[in-house]
Amino acid sequence: EVQLVESGGGLVQPGGSLRLSCAASGFTFSNYWMNWARHTPGKGLEWLANIKQDGSQSYYVDSVKGRFTIFRDNAKNSLYLQMNSLRVEDTAVYYCARDLPGISASAPWGQGTLVTVTS
């Protein structure tokens, strides 16, 4: 069964850092583009970043560019999101998601991990 499991969320102060992890299983992780996205009740879904199979290319939405870094370890079947300079508005449920082969739509998604940025 294809599965993605996020971890690493929690409570952090503004300006702080957090690293999210996504453990993949049930498929050949190194064959797929991978993504991070987030959801808040007020703003809905927002795509954050994605990374190529070998990690050689990555793309970010402007709101996180320069603060967040996506990277992967294919030997560990894991995807990561390093989040620095966190802001209150980064409070959200964070999801990892796998792209369909050759198509920039994503399935499946993980269950998400909650990040709360508050003083």
Partner 1 sequence: EIVMTQSPATLSVSPGERATLSCWASQSVSSKLAWYQLKPGQAPRLLIYGTSTRATGIPARFSGSGSGTEFTLTISSLQSEDSAVYYCQQYKEWPRTFGPGTRVEVK
Which residues are at the interface with partner 1 (CB under 8 A)?
4, 37, 39, 44-47, 59-62, 95, 97, 100, 103-112
Contact 46, 68 (CB under 8 A): no
State how far the Cα of 11 lies from the Cα of 99, in Å rounded to an integer.
29
**Which residue, 14 or 89, has its beta carbon nearer to partner 1?**
89
**Which residue, 16 or 67, has its beta carbon nearer to partner 1?**
67
Smallest gap, in angstroms, from Cβ of residue 74 to partner 1? 22
**Which residue, 16 or 108, has its beta carbon nearer to partner 1?**
108
Structure tokens at 67: 């603060």
Structure tokens at 56: 């050689």
Structure tokens at 18: 């957090």
